[in-house]
Structure 1
Amino acid sequence: MDDFLLTGGTGVKLAENDGCSVYQFRNETGEGTITIYEVFPGVSLSYNDFHIRYYESEFKPDRNLFCIDHCREGRLEYPAADDAYSYVEAGDLKLDRRLTHTGHFEMPLSHYHGAMVSFDMDAACRFLPQEIKDFPVNLRALQEKFCGGIYPYVVHGAGSIEHIFGELYAVPEKIKRPYFKIKILELLLYLEALELPENPAEKPYFYRTQVEKVKAVQQFLVGHMDENFTQEEMSRRFDIPLTPLKNCFKSVFGASIGSYLLEYRMNQAAVFLRTKREMSVAEIAGCVGYDSPSKFAAAFRRKMGMTPMDYRNRLQQ
């Protein structure tokens, strides 16, 4: 199976050796790598590591696929209905047939780390029974259980999912292949036994117009980090009611507007302290929206566990 096609991207192959391929992706927002292992015929395991805001997918399915994505860190936007989006976050499991995997996809936090198990159904259903005698999972029935529609099915934050996938991120090289096989079979058994709610509580999704306005709000705020605006001002400026603004922002970026902006400001302040040593702490405070150096220092200490000066001096040691 050409597993690279399952990513939907266009990248450069960096290496290929003994059933393992590494691809690199780049655009003006960053870069990412995908490391793909062929585990069984028709079955692969991929590690996805991206520090990038978006990617353009040219993928169009030409075969029967079943893909299971685990998000370890970050967030990933995905189509959840016609012209509407929802978000995978850390601990979530997304299952689909890649039927909506063409076009523009965003990672709102500019990073995404996770793993993907993918099945080329024709090959996997033919070879898996030969590999594992009397294995009780019907792969086609499993695909139908989770992927009856065109949009992804998402399992949110189950502890058992973390148990299965958490151990896949630190596997000694010498046991990788046999361990991958065991974990994929464990995953299939887990999904086979998982009882789906008759009336699942769906995570909220938001229409394209709302998402675009919220992303514009985020870009405006980080572009004017040295100024302060109320949420009511943002609501009026971008013509979106206050409550939908708050709800959609938290869904897209995983935090309230205030919490997101505080995190962003403190991270940018840390960058300035490291790279702009000619700037005083008071000047940096102003650059990240604080009129009072003492209030900035207190906020920085709560976030970083030390004062701005201690942070800068520690780097010089």
Structure 2
Amino acid sequence: MPQGLRVSKTFLLNRGDPSLNRSDLFFSQQNMNLLCRDESCSVYQMKNETGDGTATYYEVYPGIGVMYNDFHMECCPSRKFENNTHTFAIHHCREGRVEWEVSNGAYLYLASGDIMLDSSATENNHCSFPVSHYHGITVTISVPEAVEGLGDLLSLFSIDLEQIEQQFTLKTRPFIMHGNSVPDHVISELYQAPENIRLEYLRVKVLELLVTLKTVDPTVLGVERPYFYKTQVEKVKAIMSFMTNEPDRHFTMEELSEKFDISTSALKQCFKGVYGIAIYTYMRNYRMDLAASLLTQTDEPITMIAGKVGYTNTSKFSEAFKKIKGKTPLEYRKIKI
């Protein structure tokens, strides 16, 4: 989540105001409001002109929390925090995509199925959602508080939190691994917590996750993700906006490269890095989604809709639409009415 994902940066908060729950204080700093609370969890919401999102937060142990993140928005307010806490977090992206602004104006991307570990020692200032949605889990760990409150329990399972940080060299850069690993299996089970024993279940699974992290060889499971610099990312986003504003037109890579002053190779690599798919695949999907919307929300002739999404030949449009949506435009319109 935008700033909820950065709870690892500021999990230890000023407790001077006894009227404020510390999680309430943190989320209020992220422009998120408390929606509801019961004895085990709190639900916070953020809204702006690009959409909304919720974070469902469980404090499973002193200093250790689990957040379920559900966001349908593109961007959110950014807040820079002082790195005055010793924390790290484990993030899992189940659906969607997360853009992280890291140090020196560079960007890193978390894709569906990725697990990322990061520390308050590194500077992740801001994140957003390039495909306008994100669903995932964040486990936050305040090392001093967890050690103080759970020392005996951590020792029982031979869990050394500082050793985990060192193992993944979190004080230098975030660590990413993708699927098919023991930690991935454990994290997937966090989504299946039985409602009647959810808090107890999360406590067990968080310990299991920390134990299994010790078995990971970072040199084997680590995934090298390229960093993209701000100028590149801004140009790619401008290109996406330019193309989606004119879906009836088809642009070559060379035309886009010249217009936005970016090499074709950098354009291809950065666009896929930001949006997760190739530029032409993105536009094909966008055109078919737009056509589907027009088919169900207007009475416009299929020939006119085809023209609006860049097809002068209705037969070719029908063929392309069926390939993506599984039905011809006429069949789709009849079913959706």
| TM-score range relative to shorter protein | over 0.9
Letter of the 1:191 counterpart: L
Q: Does 1:90 align with 2:116?
A: no
In structure 1, the residue matched to 2:253 is 231
Letter of the 1:149 counterpart: K
Q: Does 1:28 align with 2:49?
A: yes
Change in CA separation of 1:145 and 1:170 when aligned onto 2, cut-off 3 Å? same
Distance in 2 between residues matched to 1:37 and 1:200, nearest whole Å = 28
Distance in 2 between residues matched to 1:13 and 1:55, nearest whole Å = 17
Change in CA separation of 1:8 and 1:297 when aligned onto 2, cut-off 3 Å? farther
Contact kept? 2:103, 2:123, Cα under 8 Å: no
Structure 2 residue corresponding to 1:279, chosen from 296, 300, 322: 300
In structure 2, the residue matched to 1:51 is 72
Q: Cα deviations across residues 34-55 of structure 1 (Å, max 9, x unaligned)?
A: 0001111111100011111112
Gapped regions of structure 1 (runs ≥ 5): none
Change in CA separation of 1:228 and 1:270 when aligned onto 2, cut-off 3 Å? same
Contact kept? 2:27, 2:44, Cα under 8 Å: no
Contact kept? 2:45, 2:54, Cα under 8 Å: yes
Distance in 1 between residues matched to 2:89 and 2:116, nearest whole Å = 8
Gapped regions of structure 2 (runs ≥ 5): 1-11, 13-21
Change in CA separation of 1:82 and 1:157 when aligned onto 2, cut-off 3 Å? farther
Distance in 2 between residues matched to 1:171 and 1:241, nearest whole Å = 47
Contact kept? 2:178, 2:221, Cα under 8 Å: no
In structure 2, the residue matched to 1:144 is 166
Structure 2 residue corresponding to 1:204, chosen from 213, 219, 226: 226
Q: Does 1:100 align with 2:120?
A: no
Q: CA RMSD in A?
A: 2.1
Contact kept? 1:211, 1:252, Cα under 8 Å: yes
In structure 2, the residue matched to 1:184 is 206
Distance in 2 between residues matched to 1:212 and 1:156, nearest whole Å = 26
Contact kept? 2:244, 2:283, Cα under 8 Å: yes
Which aligned pairs between 1:75-86 and structure 2 lie closer than 5 A? 75-86=97-108
The Cα shift of 1:198 comes to 8.4
Provide TM-score, normalisation by structure 2. Answer: 0.87
Provide TM-score, normalisation by structure 1. Answer: 0.92
3-state SS, counterpart of residue 57 of structure 1? coil
Contact kept? 2:34, 2:43, Cα under 8 Å: yes
Percent identity, aligned pairs only?
39
Distance in 1 between residues matched to 2:28 and 2:138, nearest whole Å = 9
3-state SS, counterpart of residue 82 of structure 1? helix
